[in-house]
Amino acid sequence: MNKEELYKEAFTQIAKANITMLDKRSINDGKYLIIIARPFNFLLTYKKEWFLKFGDKFRNEGMTGLGDSLNKEDIMKALDKGCTHVIRIYEKDYNVKMYIISFMKILEKGINWTNKEGKEVMSFSIHEYTLLDNVRF
């Protein structure tokens, strides 16, 4: 599935959750979208894979399994635009699933660290996400 098809399906699923998108702008060289919407603004992310080594890297912090990460710079940009949630697109074999998490939960449950590129990031377990299909606004 190409990026255009992926976003078309994502926007359809977002509308089904009773979220009305009003405006969008890209950040991080087009990697993410800040969506101005009703009833809340959110950061839309898409990555091909979860953070596969999350459990290994943060075992001492009691973490297991898969995780997700966001650059702190992107978190700050989204918060500055009034975003309260992250909606993540996950696509495998042309099957698109959408997950949602609040920034409050990311800030509460996330682990701060610096990646090998020297960027400050925040990582958290994928189990903190809720399937967007299970939520209506």
Per-residue pLDDT of the chain (137 residues; tens, 9 = 90+): 888 899 999 999 999 999 999 999 999 988 899 999 999 999 999 988 999 999 999 999 999 999 999 999 999 999 999 999 999 999 988 899 999 999 999 999 999 999 999 999 999 999 999 999 988 77
CB 39, CB 136: distance < 8 Å = no
pLDDT at residue number 47: 87
115 CB burial (10 A radius; 0-12, 13-18, 19+)? exposed
Domains of the chain by start residue, with CATH = 3-134 (3.40.1350)
What's phi and psi for 9, nearest 5 deg? -65, -40
pLDDT at residue number 3: 85
Which segments of 28-136 are extended strands (E)? Answer: 32-38, 41-46, 67-71, 83-92, 95-102, 111-114, 120-125, 130-131
Q: What single-letter amino acid sits at 31?
A: K
